[in-house]
Structure 1
Amino acid sequence: SLVGQAGWGLESGPARGDLRAIARMQNKSLLRIGADDLMGLATEEETFLRLTELGEDVLQAVYRLAWGPLVRRWGKPRNRQGRDVRFAVLAAGKFGGREMDFGSDLDLFFVYEGDGKTRRGVPNSVFFTEFSQRLIALLAEGGLYSVDARLRPEGASAPMAISLVGYRRYLAQRAATWERMALSRARQVAGDAEFGSRVLRSIERFVYSREVDAALVAQMQEMRQRMEPQGKRQTRINIKRGPGGIVDIEFVAQVLVLKWGYRDRDLHVGSTRLALQLLVEQGYLDSERGHFLLDAYEYLRAVEKGMRLASERASDALPTGRELEILSRALGAKDVASFQDEVEIWMRQTRRIFSTVFAELTD
């Protein structure tokens, strides 16, 4: 890809100029993806996949930009036997599921192979924490992507990177139940691929370590409730976090993947759309419900994409005024009122299915 090509050989030039080059390539790619989408030359699924691949290209280019100077400054991280220590960047959320939208963040967490020191005596923990922070800072500095790293062990107050031994210990002893659902979409996106596979095997054992029981389902329902807009934020339709929004569909897919993925490895997928298709095909989800959720997911993601393209402000709530009129026309509605009615109909039925599925899982 053009972005990937722009990233090669970046170590020799000044970081700011290299970031500008990556940003130019990213903007060109975004224009192509947006034009193809608007002209109907790409499906929703193809657009989201291309946006995800662009995110990977940019991340890997900036990874190379951040790595070289730190190695020159501190030396390569090595273990106690003198071997190079490997590192993996892992994705979750829509980036992990290959379903990124325009303006999406990168959900990332960072794992390194083990303890030791660099040639200049810097502990590996310090090196990889600094590298992770530098990577995030360069992505932000270049105006490329915001990074959400809250999924890392122990949350926002914890070090940015963790050793594999420490991560396995965390998964076994302290990881919250809801993290099983969040990590079901994890995949490696930068760093050493073989080591990334080792990390993912540990994650897979944690995610599918036991069957889904009524207590876990209740915890998921409670978490979903906490995600819903409260107070004044309820005055506008929130197509992502509101009742019957995109998150409802993601929760249904993920809870059923956890329930049946315990014994069916074919369900170990990160994409919400693919998960729903497989759940229907394998008989784990009623066909009528499953096909409705697939249609609702496509419709609501199209609304979300239209909102992202129509406004520079990142919001999950339907816009107002002129922006709402433009969005309504772009999505084929005859007027604003009929568009809002259509959105509400999709979301009401989605919430009914969500409530029914979760109620059945607690019986």
Structure 2
Amino acid sequence: CRLLGTGRLLGDLMDRIPEFIPRLADDTQLSQVRDLEPATARLIGLLDSREDPDAKVGTIRRFIRRRKLRIAARDVLGEADTETTLRSLSDTADAAVIGALHALTDGRPDAFGVVAMGKWGGREMSYGSDIDLIYVYDDDQDRERAFELATGLGRLLSEPSRHGEGLHLDSALRPEGKSGPLARSLDSYRRYYHEWAQPWEFLALVKARPAAGDPGLLHGFAEVLEPVLWKAKLPEPLVWEIRRIKARMESERIGPGEDPDYHLKLGPGGLTDVEFVAQLLQLRHGGRAPDLRVTSTLEALDRLAEAEILGEHDHRALRDAYEFCTRVRLRLHLQKGRASDSLPTDPKDVARLAASLGFDRTGELREQYRRLTRRARRSFERLFYESGGR
């Protein structure tokens, strides 16, 4: 009852996976989640046992749904913290993309690679996150095959199917966005990022993580990024442009009718504040401190504190706000069955959300939000706008 009463997403998943219903009485069995390596091996074994291409689509989509159901059950039952939930959802995407590429290439993804970006790259995916990614191939002779593989991944993972939803692939973070080629060669990325990269792309590339494909090629892509991102001194014009990007987001991106004071993502002291200050500090100091070159926001905050770039107070303020806003956002998605970035305004919805998160009083949820985000906003303003990261 606790699981089904949490909200729409778990009910929808149960409808698609009726064989899980008998397991509802056993919380331990329902919430078991494999780590990335055994999960990937399991999926590849299942794919290899199926000859029909449509059956492979069904195998991957069922794998995603079952993983998501187990992760959500573990989340609701309090058997995993927020960071573990984000990582497990991201591992699901890793395994699905690796498995799909395995199916397309018969296990030989030579000269082709998938680079995770955004929330996926940071291993911070929510229940409904898009899969931000870019595709890379070795040289021009591999171009046609690379486009076929990129299209094939979309077919296996994203296109409408009788087997239900999969993962939504989004390659808009590639050079030149949707007007640019779907995949590029290693040399093309090297030229673009050295000569034409935009300030927002530096922020995006902090999250870039090799995810699937040819290991040697993906290592080469990381080598392309290293001199672009990790400079001994970050140019001040770039710092000012990053600040302008953030200021523009604050004034333009919160939609009409949404309360910026209770916006989990874009509100003061919310997720975007924490991500921007972490990435700016990484860019400022990562050239001299390789340990800071990580893609996870929470891990970056911890590394910055270990390097004494973040003081104890700022580290705790930023981390607490990020974890709290993320936890609330995850639970809202389970309740509504879709992504939601603002605390609800309807009293019944607020009461339901507060109870689900363990608050005795509805008002405690908003009080906790205000307390944590105000602390985080003070740290953000000092580190991001005033000192620029010491």
Structure 2 residues not aligned, in runs of 5+: 1-37
| Cross-structure match for 1:338 | 364
1:198 aligns with 2:220: yes
Q: Which amino acid aligns with 1:63?
A: L
Equivalent residue number for residue 253 of structure 1: 278
Task: After TM superposition, list the pairs within 5 Å mapping 1:209-224 onto structure 2.
Answer: 209-224=231-246
- Residue from 157, 174, 177 that aligns with 2:196: 174
Could you tell me whether the CA contact under 8 Å between 2:269 and 2:321 is conserved in 1?
no
What SS class does the counterpart of residue 189 from structure 2 fall into? helix
Corresponding position of 1:302: 327
For 1:242 and 1:267, how far apart are their aligned partners in 2?
26
State the one-letter code of the partner of 1:251: F
Q: Which moved more, 1:322-331 or 1:179-188?
A: 322-331
Is 1:360 the equivalent of 2:378? no
- Contact 2:115–2:211, Cα closer than 8 Å, also in 1: yes
Q: Deviations over 1:108-163 (max 9, x none)?
A: 000100012xxxxxxx3233123212212321125111122111111111111000
Matched, 1:111 2:136: yes
Equivalent-residue separation in structure 1 for 2:180 and 2:149 (angstroms): 15
Q: Deviations over 1:298-357 (max 9, x none)?
A: 111111111111111222122343333211111222333332232133222222211111
Corresponding letter in the other structure for 1:292 = A
The Cα shift of 1:185 comes to 1.7
Whether 2:85 is the aligned partner of 1:32: answer no
Q: CA RMSD in A?
A: 2.3
Matched residue SS, 1:88 = strand
Q: Secondary structure at the match of 1:234?
A: coil
SS in 1 for 2:158: helix
Structure 1 position 2, deviation (Å) = 4.7
| 2:152 corresponds to | 134
**What does the per-residue CA deviation read over 1:209-254, in whole Å, with 9 as the maximum and x for residues that have no partner?**
3522432222112212333334514336220122221011011111
Shift in CA distance, 138/320, structure 1 to aligned 2, threshold 3 Å: farther
SS in 1 for 2:184: strand
| SS of alignment partner, residue 361 of structure 1 | coil
Of 19-28 and 154-163, deviating more is: 19-28
- Say whether 1:6 aligns with 2:43: yes
Which secondary structure does the structure 1 equivalent of 2:219 belong to?
Answer: helix
Larger mean CA deviation between 45-54 and 234-243 belongs to 234-243
Once the two structures are superposed, the pairs formed by residues 67-106 of structure 1 within 5 Å of their partners are: 67=105, 86-106=111-131
- Look up the match of 1:81: none
**Cα gap change, 1:4/1:225 in structure 2, threshold over 3 Å: closer, same or farther?**
farther
What SS class does the counterpart of residue 17 from structure 1 fall into?
Answer: helix
1:356 counterpart letter in structure 2: R
Deviation track 1:176-229 (CA, whole Å, cap 9, x = no partner) reads 122122111211111011210111111122111352243222211221233333
| Match of residue 311 from structure 2 | 286
Name the amino acid aligned to 1:202.
Answer: V
What is residue 235 of structure 1 aligned with on the other side? 259
Please give the alpha-carbon distance, in whole angstroms, between the structure 2 residues aligned to 1:270 and 1:291: 19
Task: Say which SS state the counterpart of residue 162 (structure 1) adopts.
Answer: strand
Gaps of 5+ in 1: 77-83, 117-123
Which position in structure 2 is the counterpart of 1:329? 355
Aligned residue in 2 for 1:62: 100
> Equivalents in 2 of 1:287, 1:362: separation in Å?
15
Q: Deviations over 1:20-76 (max 9, x none)?
A: 1222222222222222222222222222211111111111112223345xx9xxxx9
**Larger mean Cα displacement after TM superposition, 39-48 or 289-298:** 39-48
Q: Which amino acid aligns with 1:139?
A: L
Answer yes or no: is the 8 Å Cα contact 1:4–1:60 preserved in 2.
no
Structure 2 contact 121–207 (Cα < 8 Å) conserved: yes
Contact 1:6 1:25 in 2 (8 A): yes
Q: TM-score, normalised by structure 2?
A: 0.82
C-alpha distance in 2, partners of 1:92/1:232?
Answer: 28
**1:50 counterpart residue number:** 88
Q: C-alpha separation between the residues in 1 aligned to 2:219 and 2:127?
A: 28
